[in-house]
């Protein structure tokens, strides 16, 4: 083997002491003993698949004072995310193939880890043409950063039909604009929640359930107990963010916690933790949405969005250490299920899969500090939280993080588009 990684690996649902053999960037074999030209013996340390973050905003092109593909994917590497799927609300918006390919070229030169790009859906975009390079589609049912609102609900059914032809998944931001209270001018997290109440999400999800046809609809950032209940028995996939799990509208973080959908209440948090544990909510995704501190200064005018790609896995690993969350379910939700939903040969320690691997020393607790993170925005709403950062990160068999230091190369990260339309990944 070109490379062997040895340690206590989570293979499917069990931790086994084994060797993972890697050839040409892919996992070739998993055995008790393997010989390699390069051999990392990690002893009793934990070996897990790298995470796939199916929802990030890397702001590149057009908003690179907040983040760019270099800083965004550096954050990924430090946080154990080996592939990130980037949202289309950049400038120009990615709603046509030219913008999509331009973004791909730019990202390809800067990325430290692998990435995929979403195509944004606007009322007159060419859905079929976008399929060539997009990992999936994104629909916004509410106004937010960028300009991609689909509030003509009558058009939804046709849009889902067209997307279904491509066999790609479609992620939907579900908040019903009509039910927001525009008379309030919120100056606190509590009031912000009042202006975008839980019913907005419930109504938004219903619109997706009623119009999706056979399309592979995926509900972004479920944030309410009502939303979680609504999808409980539906064959629809969904995600939850770390900020909706760990924070609520009573958190003392002011405008840093302003985000869409808003931070909710502790009863919602509880419902989200349960739904994630049970798999009603399939995956975790950070919705990493960095804004500068200047843009977060004044609540009323602050830009909505919270960074989180670097802290998502570390926060959850600490929960695992505290016996508050199951390791198998974490790996399922952060690695395996996003791989399945977006048709990637990633997110599992199994032959044929990309050798995207992290090594974790569960003894190495750290306190999260914004100034130590690698996003351009330089802050985190999780300041002071305990976390466990991966010690090594491998992307397709190459070391990107070694002993908590960046050794990866800018431009090494490659674009993924998913093997849709029955196209099997050739091995």
Q: Considering the rule CB under 5 A, would residue 287 count as an interface residue with Zn ion?
A: yes
Q: Considering the rule CB under 6 A, would residue 243 count as an interface residue with ligand DOR?
A: no
The CB-of-287 to Zn ion minimum distance in angstroms stands at: 4
Q: Identify whether the C-beta of residue 224 lies closer than 8 Å to the C-beta of residue 202.
A: yes
> CA angle 244-246-248, nearest 5°?
60
The CB-of-306 to ligand DOR minimum distance in angstroms stands at: 7
What 3-state DSSP class applies to 381? Answer: coil
Q: Considering the rule CB under 6 A, would residue 223 count as an interface residue with ligand DOR?
A: no
What gap in Å lies between CA 231 and CA 372, rounded to an integer? 38
Draw the binding track, 205-224, toward Zn ion (x: CB under 5 A; -: no contact). Answer: ---------------x----
204 secondary structure, DSSP code: H
Q: Considering the rule CB under 6 A, would residue 309 count as an interface residue with ligand DOR?
A: no
Q: Considering the rule CB under 5 A, would residue 59 count as an interface residue with Zn ion?
A: no
Q: Which of 134, 289, 368, 415 binds ligand DOR (CB under 6 A)?
A: 289
298 secondary structure, DSSP code: S
> Residue 232 CB: number of other CB atoms within 10 A?
11
What 3-state DSSP class applies to 19? Answer: strand
Q: Which does 305 bind (CB under 5 to 8 A by kind): Zn ion, ligand DOR, none?
A: ligand DOR
Nearest alpha-carbon partner for 168 in 130, 115, 210, 204: 130
Catalytic residue among 114, 176, 287, 356: 287
The CB-of-247 to ligand DOR minimum distance in angstroms stands at: 13
The CB-of-144 to ligand DOR minimum distance in angstroms stands at: 4
Quick one: 6 or 287, whose CB is closer to ligand DOR?
Answer: 287
Q: Which does 89 bind (CB under 5 to 8 A by kind): Zn ion, ligand DOR, none?
A: ligand DOR
Burial 127-145 (b: 16+ CB within 10 A, else e): beebbebbbbbbbbbbebb
The strand ranges marked E within 112-208 are: 114-120, 136-140, 169-173
Position closest to Zn ion via CB: 173
**Residue 20 β-bridge partners:** 5, 30
What gap in Å lies between CA 2 and CA 25, rounded to an integer? 9
Q: Which of 144, 241, 269, 286 binds ligand DOR (CB under 6 A)?
A: 144
Q: Considering the rule CB under 6 A, would residue 26 count as an interface residue with ligand DOR?
A: no
User: Quick one: how many helices (H) and strands (E) in the chain?
Assistant: 12, 18
**Which residues within the stretch 155-194 sit at the binding site for ligand DOR (CB under 6 A)?**
173
What gap in Å lies between CA 117 and CA 102, rounded to an integer? 11
287 is catalytic: yes
Report the catalytic residues: 287
Where do contacts with Zn ion occur on this chain (CB under 5 A)? 173, 220, 287
Where do contacts with ligand DOR occur on this chain (CB under 6 A)? 57, 89, 144-145, 173, 259-260, 289, 304-305
């Amino acid at each position: 083997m070109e490379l062997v990684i040895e340690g206590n690996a989570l293979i499917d649902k069990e931790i086994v002491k084994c060797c993972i053999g890697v050839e040409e960037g892919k996992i070739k074999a998993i055995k008790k003993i393997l010989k390699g030209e390069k051999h990392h013996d990690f002893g009793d340390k934990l070996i897990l698949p790298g995470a796939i973050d199916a929802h990030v905003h890397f702001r590149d092109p057009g908003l690179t004072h907040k983040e760019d593909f270099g800083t965004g994917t550096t954050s990924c590497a430090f946080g154990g995310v080996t592939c990130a799927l980037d949202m289309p609300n950049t400038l120009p918006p990615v709603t046509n193939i030219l913008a999509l390919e331009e973004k791909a070229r730019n990202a390809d030169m800067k990325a430290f880890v692998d990435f995929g790009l979403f195509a944004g859906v606007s009322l007159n975009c060419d859905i079929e043409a976008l399929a060539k390079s997009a990992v999936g589609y994104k629909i916004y049912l509410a106004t937010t950063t960028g300009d991609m609102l689909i509030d003509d609900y009558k058009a939804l059914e046709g849009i889902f039909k067209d997307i279904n032809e491509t066999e790609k998944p479609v992620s939907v931001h579900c908040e019903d604009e009509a039910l927001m209270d525009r008379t309030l001018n919120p100056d606190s997290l509590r009031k912000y929640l009042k202006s975008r109440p839980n019913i907005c999400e419930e109504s938004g999800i219903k619109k997706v359930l009623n119009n999706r046809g056979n399309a592979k609809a995926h509900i972004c950032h479920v944030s309410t107990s009502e939303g979680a209940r609504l999808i409980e028995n539906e064959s629809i996939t969904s995600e939850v963010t770390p900020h909706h799990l760990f924070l609520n509208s009573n958190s003392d973080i002011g405008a840093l916690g302003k985000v869409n959908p808003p931070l909710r209440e502790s009863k919602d948090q509880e419902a989200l933790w349960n739904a994630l544990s049970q798999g009603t909510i399939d995956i975790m995704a950070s919705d990493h949405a960095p804004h500068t501190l200047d843009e977060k200064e004044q609540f009323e005018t602050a830009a909505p969005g919270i960074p989180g790609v670097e802290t998502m896995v570390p926060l959850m690993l600490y929960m695992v250490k505290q016996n508050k969350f199951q390791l198998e379910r974490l790996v399922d939700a952060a690695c395996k299920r996003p791989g399945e939903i977006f048709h990637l040969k990633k997110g599992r320690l199994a032959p044929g899969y990309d050798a995207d691997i992290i090594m974790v020393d569960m003894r190495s607790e750290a306190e999260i500090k914004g100034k130590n993170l690698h996003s351009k925005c330089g802050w985190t709403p999780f300041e002071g939280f305990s976390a466990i950062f991966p010690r090594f990160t491998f992307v397709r068999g190459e070391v990107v993080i070694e002993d908590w230091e960046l050794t990866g190369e800018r431009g090494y990260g490659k674009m993924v588009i998913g093997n849709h339309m029955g196209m099997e990944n050739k091995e």
